[in-house]
Amino acid sequence: MKTRLPLIIAFLALTAVCHSQQNTNWNKWSWLIGEWKGEGGGQPGQGSGTFSFSFDLDKNIVVRKSHSEYPAANNKPKIVHDDLMIVHFDASDSSTKAIYFDNEGHTISYSVAYTDKSITLTSVKVENAPFFRLTYELLENETVNTRFQISRDGVNFTTYVEGKSKKIK
């Protein structure tokens, strides 16, 4: 029994450490969790779409799914855009990060920053690639302004698409 006691204590300590790393505090995301519907425009034209933010894996990640459509106009074909983003806590540096995938084959890794009424995701530096910034800003009456921007230098960003969405669920 004496030889088992240190092993049991080590196991319990390891379990406590692993458990404490789970269930990240997602309070800064609470206003964005749900389903949203909106309209906006930019480089692809005027369009509409939906997106959702939800918890998954026992609240260890936040998953965003998005769908938008831009009708054919001015000799441009209809555009349908679908994407998936997984937001996670990075225990190595106590930060929040995200990884994004879309139906056009893009993958973007983001770091996340917060203010009282906004969440901003900025892409990490990738050699010979532009920077991307995605901002969700809480407005009034469960309305969110979403802005996706692009930059060559990571400082001067140009808006590619922007729109307002209302919470529907």
In tens, the pLDDT along 121-135 reads 999 999 999 999 999
Quick one: tokens of 147?
């802005």
Determine contact, residues 37/166, Cβ cutoff 8 Å: yes
* 78-135 pLDDT per residue, tens: 999 999 999 999 999 999 999 999 999 999 999 999 999 999 999 999 999 999 999 9
Higher-confidence residue of 107 and 20: namely 107
Let me know if residue 122 belongs to a domain. yes
Measure Cα distances from 150 to 68, 76, 88, 111, 154 in Å.
18, 22, 23, 15, 8
Let me know if residue 12 belongs to a domain. no
* Banded model confidence at residue 8, pLDDT cuts 50, 70, 90: low
Measure Cα distances from 140 to 9, 31, 90, 136 in Å.
51, 11, 31, 13
Let me know if residue 18 belongs to a domain. no
Let me know if residue 3 belongs to a domain. no
Q: In the predicted model, is pLDDT for residue 17 greater than 50?
A: no
* Banded model confidence at residue 74, pLDDT cuts 50, 70, 90: confident
CATH number of domain containing 31? 2.40.128.20
| Range list of H helices, the chain | 4-20
Count of the separate structural domains present in the chain = 1
Let me know if residue 123 belongs to a domain. yes
CA atoms within 13 A on the CB side of 19: 6
Higher-confidence residue of 158 and 21: namely 158
Give the pTM: 0.83
Let me know if residue 7 belongs to a domain. no
Mean pLDDT of the chain: 89
3-state helix, strand, coil in the chain (%, to 5): 15, 55, 30
Let me know if residue 11 belongs to a domain. no
Let me know if residue 17 belongs to a domain. no
Range of the domain at 77: 24-167
pLDDT reported for residue 16: 47
Q: How many residues does the chain have?
A: 169
